Structure 1
Amino acid sequence: MKERVRAVLVTADDTMLVIRRTKPCIPEYWVLPGGGVEPGDESREAALHREIHEEIAGKAHIIRLLHTMESEDERQLFYLARIATWSFEDRTGPEFSAEGRGEYMLEEIPLTVEALDGINLKPDEIAHVLRGTMEAGALGDGAAA
């Protein structure tokens, strides 16, 4: 089974980092930073650190596992993490130079239900989980480092 790791990256300003994806002939959507767990990764958390470094040249402090999604062929693990520094210009992930992958733009959105509802975050299930966590006031509290 393929495994992917993603992070809800909370900044010191209580915003969340998301990546806006634009592809030809597909409505734009947003995803959380992360990617596939590779055979050489020591752990899922190590894979997440590698992906954050590749995608946004950042270093995060992982707080906890927030949610797991499973299908027949894939497991996605979503972690809550704090991040202090990042540089989208210094990203190194191979997907950024792959032909036909579309554009990747890093954005900060406020940690509010209204801001979350203003974007098309994929997958829908994590958007629903985040909305409930925000409504319960547990996202900001759980991310205190």
Structure 2
Amino acid sequence: MIERVRAALVTADDTMLVIRRTKPAVPECWVLPGGGVVPSDESREAALHREIHEEIAGKADIVQLLHTMESDGERQFFYLARIATWSFDDRTGPEFSAEGRGEYALEEIPLTVEALDGINLKPEEIAHVLRGAIGNGSLGCEATL
């Protein structure tokens, strides 16, 4: 089974980092930073740190596992993480130079249900989980780390 890791990256300003994906002939959508776990990764958390470094040249503190979902031979692990610094201009992931992968744009959205409702975050299941967590206050800076 393929494993992927993704992070709801919350900043000190109570915003969340998301990546806007634009591909030809495909509706625009947003995803959480992350990617595939590879055999050289010591753990899922190590894979997430590697992916955050590759995708946004950032360092994050992983707080907890938020949600796990399975579909079509793939298991995805979604984590809550805090991030203080990042540099989208310094990203190094191989997907950014791959032909036909479309465009990636890092965006910072307010940590509100309204802001989340304003984007097409995929998969919808994690968008639903995040709406609930935002609604109950478990994602903001004041939440227990």
- In the aligned structure 1, how far is the partner of 2:95 from the partner of 2:11? 24
- In the aligned structure 2, how far is the partner of 1:67 from the partner of 1:50? 20
Matched to 2:16, the amino acid is: M
Match of 1:101 in 2: 101
- In the aligned structure 2, how far is the partner of 1:142 from the partner of 1:127? 21
Residue 84 of structure 1 aligns to a residue in which SS?
Answer: strand
CA 1:30–1:38 in structure 2 vs 1: closer, same or farther (change >3 Å)?
same
The structural deviation recorded for 1:140 is: 1.2
Measured against aligned partners, the alpha-carbon deviations of 1:63-99 in whole angstroms (never above 9, x if no partner) come to 0000000124010000000000000000000000000
Structure 2 spans left out of the alignment, 5+ residues: none
Match of 1:119 in 2: 119
The structural deviation recorded for 1:142 is: 7.1
- In the aligned structure 1, how far is the partner of 2:45 from the partner of 2:142? 18
- In the aligned structure 1, how far is the partner of 2:89 from the partner of 2:105? 10
- Contact 1:69 1:76 (8 Å CA) reproduced: yes
- In the aligned structure 2, how far is the partner of 1:85 from the partner of 1:143? 20
- Contact 2:52 2:59 (8 Å CA) reproduced: yes
The structural deviation recorded for 1:8 is: 0.3
Identity of aligned residues (%): 83
Structure 1 segments, 4+ long, off by >4 Å, are 141-145
- Contact 1:80 1:143 (8 Å CA) reproduced: no
- In the aligned structure 2, how far is the partner of 1:12 from the partner of 1:141? 6
- In the aligned structure 2, how far is the partner of 1:72 from the partner of 1:35? 16
Q: How many residues align?
A: 145
- Contact 1:10 1:16 (8 Å CA) reproduced: yes
Match of 2:134 in 1: 134
Match of 2:58 in 1: 58
Matched to 1:36, the amino acid is: G
- TM superposition score normalised by structure 2: 0.97
Match of 1:10 in 2: 10
